[in-house]
Amino acid sequence: MSDSGEFKRDTEYIPDRITKDARKPEHGPVEGELWPVEPGRYRLVAAKACPWANRSIIVRNLLGLEDVISMGLCGPTHDERSWTFDLDPGGRDPVLGYERLQEAYLKRFPDYSRGITVPAVVDIESGGVVTNDYPWITHDFFFEWRDHHRPDAPDLWPDDLREEMEDVMERIYHEVNNGVYRCGFASSQEAYEEAYDRLFAALDWLEDRLSERRYLMGPQITEADVRLFTTLARFDAVYHGHFKCNRNKLTEMPALWGYARDLFQTPGFGDTIDFFQIKKHYYVVHKNINPTGIVPKGPDTSVWLTPHGRDGL
């Protein structure tokens, strides 16, 4: 948190990458170690409650990597120490044997003192965390694990759109993905209102963009859509009220709402969304915002299955 009350996200993640033959990648950080692509070696640890982890679940599904990279899911609530595997029998991940994700971090870095975040990729044999750098986890699922994609996997990073797509994703990250948190965790009126204005300016830009095209980059789904979707899926259920992002609801923005439903009804997207877990995470874990821990009963989630009318764009 800055002196002005602005929320500052800690973006210092474990910079290791998993690449084909542990090669140096063409894009992104190489400050950490390079690990080889190896089916069955790694376990993705995620949580359906978390939007950043939700991305990795969706991309893994879209690319057909379910039989290549196993997945463990943490429950929606956690304490200051770590996410836990309380959804599994006995409260332990059946592959790693851990009760807490923290154990994988400490297995590799005994003095690890930063946040224990999801998603994280864990080396099954050693039990140690490999990386928690979520933007590069999904990027590398596409570029480095290509030999293991299903035959009809979507091209999430079209070469001819990459430069524009990265600009779009950069704005979405700062103003929308992180923008809702900048609203919710602001500790001054000025910081909150500045974040609020930036968020809705970006949503208006997206509303205009999506009124003329089915997906963010045109007629096909890309990584940019995955990144925006996980925030939109949580907007009315959490961010509108809990984070005070209340100029309007998602359901009141015709293009964005139709777009969000279009993705929700696409295999690999909506089946990763658990509204109960999402609400429980935010309203129970954020005690400074919601000290009672009461989880709202609404909104009605059946509206996500109503016709979206986007097929013709």
Whether 181 is catalytic: yes
- Compute the distance between CA of residue 23 and CA of residue 18 in angstroms, rounded to an integer: 9
Q: Does residue 233 contact residue 260 with C-beta atoms inside 8 Å?
A: yes
Tokens encoding 55 = 């991305």
Helical pair 223-234 and 162-171, crossing angle rounded to 10 deg: 20
Which of 81, 77, 80, 61 lies closest to 69 in space, CA to CA? 61
Which alpha helices (DSSP H) does the chain contain, by range? 51-63, 102-108, 134-143, 162-171, 179-184, 189-210, 223-234, 254-264, 275-285
Instruction: Note whether 52 and 134 are within 8 A (CB).
Output: yes
Contact criterion met (CB below 8 Å) for 33 and 25 = no
Point out the catalytic residue in the list 13, 50, 98, 134: 50
Q: How many CB atoms lie within 10 A of CB 36?
A: 12
Could you tell me which of 32, 37, 233 has the C-alpha nearest to residue 132? 32
Q: What are the C-alpha distances in Å from 107 to residues 51, 119, 223?
A: 26, 17, 32
3-state secondary structure of 57: helix
Active-site position among 13, 74, 112, 181: 181
Q: Are 106 and 112 in contact (CB under 8 A)?
A: yes
CB 50, CB 118: distance < 8 Å: yes
Task: Confirm if 34 and 52 have CB atoms less than 8 A apart.
Answer: no
Alpha-carbon distances, residue 63 vs 22, 41, 45, 116 (angstroms) = 20, 18, 17, 26
User: Is residue 245 flagged as an active site residue?
Assistant: no
The answer to whether residues 283 and 52 touch, using CB atoms and an 8 Å cutoff, is no
Cite the active site residues: 50, 181
